[in-house]
Structure 1
């Protein structure tokens, strides 16, 4: 054996009662030995063929019937297996096989990490956390509590279901009848087909998120903007893919199930994504001011003075049984109309709400409900409304402009080639959202999230 480090074993000294100092130094020695042992790989005892010497060393591996050993002083030595005693040879073969197996596992792990780093998306694609359970309000709440309840449920991802439940039962019955009539007129295959571009867009973004988010233009953004862009992109993509999937747009189930049951099933799928989008688009909750409407005004109410104004902050949810405002004054008992100003950042919207069968509805909507229902029934009967939905210009733009680009980009398997192709596909495009935003603005529940852009907003884009 070349340059072995011989370990001589001496007999123990005669036993005697150890002193306290000896015990302390003994424990210290054990502690340091354990610490040193934990900081480096396990050394093994190796015995020569004739048993006349042994050495403490770590096996680095087996190479061409030679054990490569690392000595305690850092030197590496090569020992032929035939020069080791049988138990040491067996030990070497066992440890060598273990190290070879560990090496192979590490190679596979590193290869997987490289492949994952160069993959278009994580595998599996992460899903958002579950949304809080939906909590219905019911009738009899005051205007502020009802509006606050909707905001809370919308922030939790239940905007569609909360909007439906905010109507009085007779209004919901009208909605159910309209939906059933429209479902009977629709071609079950046409709806998923017409909304397929939105589904494809969401699916493409999720399945290529690593490529998209590693694009140099995205990486050049400051940390805050990049984080905002990432969160909005992935949340919106998840919402599009889920909302416009063929399963979600199943017309046959819409025909056979009560509309609210159908809506509850879709709400369960969409709520996690709605919640993500709401957190990005509206991280700050609104505040409310209200005043009692008076019948002696030609407009249905008088101008409000300071004594009529009450402010409600949305920082913490209100108790549904609590009808008093922060100043300690309650809404006028028996009021049938209330003026409410909704404030969010620097934007304010004022509307008059009317009490209908225990539910607060915007006055303009309540007064024109019958007329609107009649108009919608007619558009469904002659299919003009259905055709308008299917022939939506934004959907047509997505189908003609975005879909071919998605199909071309989906065939690329290299990150660098994807970035180059993406730049080419976006040449001449002022804004990626320029096609999708008009469609989103047409959805009533989303109009506040996508207001008309100012000139400066139109000039700014991530691409």
Structure 2
């Protein structure tokens, strides 16, 4: 029996059993008290699974949270270990249908953040064998819309993925990644602080007087999309932090870990998007002219179309121009990667010194202090006051930026 069929049947049985037993909602018999090491944080929740370095818990309202194990009290860590061993003995191959089927775990600075857990989207369906252009398009579309963004990586031929996963290729790419990480570090810290606000002050955010001016139909959409949007931001920062590991971790491991998590949250946001996305997908025209050639015609916003020539290469349909590049550098891919990385590094260096980038760097510290004010708020009133102070500061900065000509004596630098 194929693994994917076996997994889907097991998943279906587990789903039916959960529905019959009512375990989509927390049963009092399963609820336990979980606390952090400081003793300031407690939650009544049921154990779901261990996901990497975190334990996933389901609260009484049916929502799930992912709590770093290192943040738990000693008693709760032991409790998590007992539940993990118990679940492992009852379901010895449960890991095969887990979202995190991967030895890779990101080493990031988000250990103090309890983020919304990605919904389980099941495993990626097997790539079709020798597909037609239409079959591959339909497969990629369906998998991406179901949350499996890693499908785009698997659109590359297996031999190309293996070469990109090789140590020489990763060594060639890593210096550019390292430069990006160093440049991006202040913004990652700022985003991590924003995530702390979004995850610890959710009640104050949704209760803020600033939201009173929203249209009546916007409030339900905000509440429905809040956790998926926060989860999406968390997983994006985790992915970015995970780039630090790419010298020791293959791209396949990194992608298979992060992209399904991003996609799972993005899938929950799809119902809130305008229907134009689905309409645009339906307007894409697929035409296969022979066994190895075809075209994809995509509508453009200006009313025109863009046609991409496609070629069947090593079991995958790829843009013809990309295949030409692969064939041209078939025996020198590493050298071509090094050349491309050098060109990209020059572009990144130039971008880091333009006025807009410098302006953003100058704003990082005041923004960080503003977020500290929100984190330190203990009441709704304090949170609203801190929010209003940030808005007033932002309007002041915007007014200063519009009124300057570049003379430092006249005020902030252009664009500030």
Name the TM tier (shorter chain).
0.5 to 0.7
1:200 equivalent among 180, 193, 218 = 193
1:164 positional shift: 0.9
Work out whether residues 200 and 241 of structure 1, in 8 Å CA contact, stay in contact via their aligned partners in 2. Answer: no
CA deviation string 1:181-208 (max 9, x = no partner): 2325627973773422233323321222
**1:229-240 equivalences in 2 (<5 Å):** 229-240=222-233
Work out whether residues 339 and 353 of structure 1, in 8 Å CA contact, stay in contact via their aligned partners in 2. Answer: yes
Q: Determine whether 1:377 maps to 2:338.
A: yes
Q: Determine whether 1:153 maps to 2:153.
A: no
1:169 equivalent among 150, 158, 167 = 158
TM superposition score normalised by structure 1: 0.48
Work out whether residues 197 and 374 of structure 2, in 8 Å CA contact, stay in contact via their aligned partners in 1. Answer: no
Larger radius of gyration: 1
Which secondary structure does the structure 2 equivalent of 1:338 belong to?
A: strand
Tell me, in whole angstroms, the C-alpha distance in 2 between the residues paired with 1:151 and 1:395. Answer: 36
Which secondary structure does the structure 1 equivalent of 2:392 belong to?
A: coil
- In structure 2, the residue matched to 1:181 is 172
Q: Determine whether 1:340 maps to 2:286.
A: no
Gaps of 5+ in 1: 1-111, 113-121, 293-330, 431-463
Tell me, in whole angstroms, the C-alpha distance in 2 between the residues paired with 1:222 and 1:271. Answer: 29
Tell me, in whole angstroms, the C-alpha distance in 1 between the residues paired with 2:161 and 2:135. Answer: 20
Which stretch of structure 1 is more off in the superposition, 379-388 or 191-200? 379-388
Work out whether residues 310 and 319 of structure 2, in 8 Å CA contact, stay in contact via their aligned partners in 1. Answer: yes
Taking a change above 3 Å as real, the CA distance of residues 129 and 154 of structure 1, as seen in their structure-2 partners, is same
User: Normalized per residue, which structure has more helix?
Assistant: 2
1:259 equivalent among 240, 247, 251 = 251
CA deviation string 1:201-220 (max 9, x = no partner): 23321222211121223233
1:409 equivalent among 336, 356, 374 = 374
The number of aligned residues is: 269
- In structure 2, the residue matched to 1:461 is none
Which secondary structure does the structure 1 equivalent of 2:246 belong to?
A: helix
CA deviation string 1:413-445 (max 9, x = no partner): 111121122122012647xxxxxxxxxxxxxxx
2:121 equivalent among 119, 131, 134 = 131
Which secondary structure does the structure 2 equivalent of 1:244 belong to?
A: helix
- In structure 2, the residue matched to 1:360 is 317
Tell me, in whole angstroms, the C-alpha distance in 2 between the residues paired with 1:352 and 1:173. Answer: 26
Work out whether residues 198 and 398 of structure 1, in 8 Å CA contact, stay in contact via their aligned partners in 2. Answer: no
Tell me, in whole angstroms, the C-alpha distance in 1 between the residues paired with 2:360 and 2:234. Answer: 15
Which secondary structure does the structure 2 equivalent of 1:426 belong to?
A: helix
2:307 equivalent among 344, 351, 355 = 351
Tell me, in whole angstroms, the C-alpha distance in 2 between the residues paired with 1:384 and 1:155. Answer: 35
Work out whether residues 202 and 241 of structure 1, in 8 Å CA contact, stay in contact via their aligned partners in 2. Answer: yes
Taking a change above 3 Å as real, the CA distance of residues 417 and 252 of structure 1, as seen in their structure-2 partners, is closer
- In structure 2, the residue matched to 1:92 is none
CA deviation string 1:45-98 (max 9, x = no partner): xxxxxxxxxxxxxxxxxxxxxxxxxxxxxxxxxxxxxxxxxxxxxxxxxxxxxx
**1:193-342 equivalences in 2 (<5 Å):** 193-194=185-186, 195-245=188-238, 249-251=241-243, 253-281=245-273, 285=278, 286-290=281-285, 292=287, 331-341=288-298
TM superposition score normalised by structure 2: 0.52
Taking a change above 3 Å as real, the CA distance of residues 224 and 343 of structure 1, as seen in their structure-2 partners, is farther
Work out whether residues 116 and 228 of structure 2, in 8 Å CA contact, stay in contact via their aligned partners in 1. Answer: no
Work out whether residues 154 and 162 of structure 1, in 8 Å CA contact, stay in contact via their aligned partners in 2. Answer: yes
- In structure 2, the residue matched to 1:16 is none
